[in-house]
A and B are shown apart, each in its own frame.
Chain A
Amino acid sequence: MMQITPKENQSQWVSSGIPIIAAVLALLLAAIPLAFAGAPILEAYGHMIKGVFGSLFNFTEMLTRATPLIFTGLAAAIAFRAKLWNIGGEGQFYLGAMAAVWVGTGMIDGPPALMIPLVLFVGAFAGGLGMLGPAILKTRFGADEVVTSLLLNFIILIFVQMMLEGPLKDPMGLGWPQSEPIVDNAVLPQLITRMRLHAGFVLAIGTAIIAYIILAMTVWGFKIRAVGENAAAAKHAGIGVNRTYLAVAMASGALAGMAGVSEVAGLKGYLTADLSAGFGYTGIVVAMLAGLSPLGVILASLYVASVFVGADSMSRAIGVSSFIADLIVSMSLICVLLGGFFARFNLTFAKKQVDTK
């Protein structure tokens, strides 16, 4: 029989090494579907590595891809820390992008020093409201935020499509359902000439550092952690649990909204209904790989972005379906979950079950 016992001393090294082991393991496990698809395995890995590190352009593409993931990863990490299950990052991403487009396509114009903070703020605010709704339904009515935030993703995406065929539609867009382009003064500047990498990346890194400081060093961060670890005890200690949930919801939604702003104002320039490549959902994986640590989110985003960019280039080179990237990312999540288990518990197999009663 199998016996599960908690480990006596958990090593800090082991627990911080787990995500790395999980990530490597998931990459190695990718050999199975690659073999199944009949691809030359070593060559495939070679293409993946080249796809990320082969040139400055490839590398900056990876960083560009990581940018929204840092934001959505932070969104999930901060919410999950409080055990507020925000699965609505995808919807909040679009709310942020939509709000940025709403104010940023000619409604107001001014110097970049005004316009860029403005679109960021408006987008963050809209994203925050997107999670505030489910949080209010949770605190007021006890409605499970997992389901409500998930279902909101679908509602918001349909709403985006409606807006893109209606008020937000670009009259010059040749009938395509897309918004007008963001005014030049609201566009996040490029970091390197002729590369798509934009200031959103720097902003994302800065935001992660701020989130780390808030979570680790402020009273508010302490409240978030206390509510997440034991809501009943936190309440007993006089922490306003519901208020904390609402504040976390606002912050988490705002972070996901900023991902939307960053994509629309830094990369695409206008809004379409396929702006996000599942960034909201992938953010959850990023947060888990990061062990819900804001600084870990940066590393996890770089890893996940490398998988996507590398697998894209590999799939172009040898004709394997690009779904391989989603497969690797989802396997990393499962590996890191299992890794967390083996760090905390010993699994022993006894020959015979001994009843201790």
Chain B
Amino acid sequence: MMDILNIFLSDSFWAASLRIATPLIFGVLGALLCERAGVLNLGIEGIFVVGAMTGWMAVWLGANLWGGIIIAAMAGGLFGLFHAILTVIFGLSQHVSGLGITLFASSAASFTYRTALPQVSSPPRIEPFRALDIPILSDLPFIGPVLFQQTAMTWLALFLVAVVWWVMEKTALGVAIKAVGDNPEAVNAQGLSVVKLRMGSVIAGSALMALGGAFLTMSAFDAFFFGMVNGRGWICIALVIFASWQPGKALMGALLFGMFDALQVRLQTEAGAFIPGQVFLMAPYVLSIIALVIVARKADYPRALLTPWFKGQR
């Protein structure tokens, strides 16, 4: 029991929680934006892979880190555009189209990586984002290591939570995006373009998802591996329901998830002798399912989610 208390008192635990949460924050925000506009984006898992690969490769080819971030976001946005064309313009099944985008995006990313680097025994490395070193702040006890020794990408994620919250809650654009996910016909009657709003949201949301992937290769690690995304995208799809499509709750959900994951790793070292390590590895996925089941009944889905809209048909 004492050991568990010690875990919660250590700054490294909280720092790890925030670090693990970072890619999920990007991903949940992206999924939130798409779904708020009425489009489920199951392309997320593949878009994570694309973000991870393109961001890493841009830097490996000589771009600076922020250049890599921009490339990753653009690549994610491109696949978002593809998903938007299929689901918004053509009104095709969002489930199947999203799965198609995931398969297409991840195989395109893997193919490109293998073509550029045909025979490498160990994946080449880049110089990733370093932990921030802010005078005074980073040296503060506890707060310093937890908040101010993260990489710039974690701060970008936190900043984007604020941006998405502000857009959704405080701007006319946010009102329009939410309306288009609830009642597109009413938005059309207002003279706004349902198609443009939905497409824009899906593209921007997909760019955010790609940043989640980019965090993996440019901040958490320094190389690209096949299978490194490992279901993180799908977890975001569960988290966004858990967060009932609110940016603030999305942040809380991602942090909670990061905490459990960080705890799981530490418990594994504590209890590894009695319990097989795999039990702990399963925990994040089991947890996501439990979270989903708890909120499922009262989940307030955007009312027009999964419903295509065509002008002049009613």
Among residues of A, the one whose C-beta sits closest to the C-beta of B240 is A147
Task: Decide: A142 and B234 in contact? CB cutoff 8 A.
Answer: no
Interface segment among B15-23, B244-252, B287-295: the answer is B287-295
Q: Separation in Å of the B242 CB from the closest CB of chain A?
A: 10
B230 / chain A contacts, CB cutoff of 8 Å: 154
Greatest chain A CB density within 10 A among B111, B118, B230, B312 is at B111
- Is A75 engaged at the interface, CB distance under 8 Å to the other chain? no
Taking a contact as CB atoms under 8 Å apart, the answer to whether A281 and B103 are in contact is yes
**CA A148 to CA B235, docked complex, whole Å:** 10
Question: B89 on the interface (CB 8 Å rule)?
Answer: yes
**Given A141-B296, A152-B289, A324-B111, CB of A333 within 8 Å of CB of B100:** yes
Contact B89 A2 (CB under 8 A): yes
Chain B residues with CB below 8 A from A37, complex form: 111, 115
B238 and A147 contacting across the interface, CB-CB below 8 Å: yes
Query: B297 contacts A142, CB within 8 Å?
Result: yes
A85, A137, A144, A319: the one within 8 Å of B241 (CB): A144
Question: Which of A48-56, A97-105, A157-165, A255-263 is the contact stretch?
Answer: A157-165
Flag whether B156 is at the interface (Cβ < 8 A). Answer: no
B9 at the interface (CB under 8 A from A): no
Asked if A330 and B103 make an inter-chain contact with CB atoms under 8 angstroms apart, the answer reads yes
Q: Give Cα distance in the complex from A166 to B100, angstroms.
A: 36
The answer to whether the Cβ of A192 comes within 8 Å of any Cβ in the partner chain is no
A141, A146, A162, A329: the one contacting B276 at CB < 8 Å is A162
1/0 contact string of B175-208 vs chain A (CB within 8 Å): 0000000000000000000000000000000000
Q: Are the C-beta atoms of A333 and B103 separated by less than 8 Å?
A: yes
Cβ proximity bits A77-101 to B, threshold 8 Å, 1 near / 0 not: 0000000010100000000000000
Are A326's CB and B234's CB within 8 A? no
A residues in contact with B234, CB < 8 Å: 147, 150-151, 154
Query: With A and B bound together, what is the CA distance between A327 and B268 in angstroms?
Result: 38
Pick the contact of A143 from B100, B231, B296 — CB < 8 Å? B296
8 A Cβ contacts from B85-119 to A: 86, 89-93, 95-97, 99-101, 103-104, 106-108, 110-111, 114-115, 118
Q: For the complex, what is the distance from the CA of A309 to the CA of B107, rounded to whole Å?
A: 17
Question: In the assembly, what is the distance between CA of A288 and CA of B279, in Å?
Answer: 35
Interface 0/1 of B261-292, CB less than 8 Å to A: 00000000000000010110110011011001
| B104 and A331 contact, CB distance less than 8 A | yes
A196 and B266 alpha carbons, distance in the complex (Å): 46
A152: chain B residues at CB < 8 Å are 285, 289
Residue numbers in A under 8 Å from B106 (CB-CB): 326
| B97/A158 in contact, CB under 8 A | no
Chain B residue at smallest Cβ distance from A288: B96
Tell me if A338 counts as interface (CB < 8 A to partner B): yes
B271 to chain A, nearest CB (A): 15
Chain A residues numbered 102-137 whose CB sits less than 8 Å from any CB in chain B: 137
Bound together, the chains give a CA A151 to CA B287 distance in angstroms of 10
Q: With A and B bound together, what is the CA distance between A12 and B62 in angstroms?
A: 54
Q: Say how far A49's CB is from chain B's closest CB, in angstroms.
A: 21
The answer to whether residues A4 and B310 also contact, given A37-B115, A162-B278, A319-B118 and a CB cut-off of 8 A, is yes
> CA A59 – CA B289 in complex, angstroms?
42
Least CB separation from B105: chain A residue: A330
Instruction: Report whether A323 and B86 are in contact in the complex, using a CB–CB cutoff of 8 Å.
Output: no
Interface of B is mostly: helix
Any B CB within 8 A of the CB of A33: yes
In the complex, which of the residues A158, A281, A321, A356 contacts B278, with contact meaning CB atoms closer than 8 Å?
Answer: A158
Give residues 227-271 of A contacting B (CB, 8 Å).
none
**Residue in B107, B278, B296 whose CB lies within 8 Å of A326:** B107
Q: How far is the CB of B83 from chain A (nearest CB, A)?
A: 10
Contacts of A151 in B (CB 8 A): 231, 234-235, 238, 285, 288-289
Given A151-B285, A288-B96, A338-B90, check contact A143 B293 (CB 8 Å). Answer: yes
- Given the known interface contacts A151-B235, A151-B289, A331-B104, the answer about A284 and B99 at a Cβ–Cβ threshold of 8 Å is yes
CA distance A85 to B111 in the complex (A): 28
Q: Which residues, 265 to 282 on A, are CB-close (under 8 Å) to B?
A: 281
Residue of B nearest to A165 (CB): B276
Bound Cα distance A158, B277 (Å): 10
* A291 to B205 Cα, complex, angstroms: 30
The answer on a CB contact under 8 Å between B95 and A341 is no
A337: Cβ under 8 A from any B Cβ: yes
A329 to chain B, nearest CB (A): 7
Q: Does B312 lie within 8 Å of A334, measured CB to CB?
A: no
Nearest residue (CB) in A for B281 is A158
- Measured CB to CB, the closest approach of chain B to A107, in angstroms, equals 22
Quick one: closest B residue to A345, CB to CB?
B90
Q: Which A residues are in CB contact (< 8 Å) with B90?
A: 4, 338, 341
Say if the beta carbon of A13 comes within 8 Å of chain B: no
Listed residue (A151, A161, A166) with the most chain B CB atoms within 10 angstroms of its CB = A151
A349 in the interface (beta carbon within 8 A): no
Residue of B nearest to A163 (CB): B278
Hey, which chain A residues are within 8 Å of B158, CB to CB? Answer: none
Q: A155, B292: Cβ atoms under 8 Å?
A: no
Look across to chain B and name the residue whose beta carbon is closest to the beta carbon of A324: B111
Contact status of A155 and B285, CB under 8 A, knowing A166-B276, A321-B118, A337-B92: yes
Q: How far is the CA of A319 from the CA of B117 in the complex (A)?
A: 12
Partner of A161, one of B89, B110, B278, B293: B278
- Answer yes or no: B65 CB below 8 A from chain A CBs: no
**Assembled-state Cα–Cα distance A165/B230 (Å):** 21
B293 CB contacts on chain A under 8 angstroms: 137, 141, 143, 148
Whether the Cβ atoms of B111 and A162 lie closer than 8 Å is no
For this complex, 20 residue pairs linking A to B, each with C-beta atoms less than 8 Å apart, are A137-B296, A142-B297, A147-B241, A147-B289, A148-B292, A150-B237, A151-B285, A154-B230, A154-B231, A154-B234, A158-B282, A321-B115, A323-B111, A326-B106, A329-B107, A331-B104, A333-B96, A334-B101, A337-B96, A338-B92
The 3 closest A-B pairs by CB, nearest first: A321-B114, A326-B107, A330-B103
Residue ranges of B at the interface with A (Cβ–Cβ < 8 Å): 42, 86, 89-93, 95-97, 99-101, 103-104, 106-108, 110-111, 114-115, 118, 230-231, 234-235, 237-238, 241, 276, 278-279, 281-282, 285-286, 288-289, 292-293, 296-297, 299, 310, 312
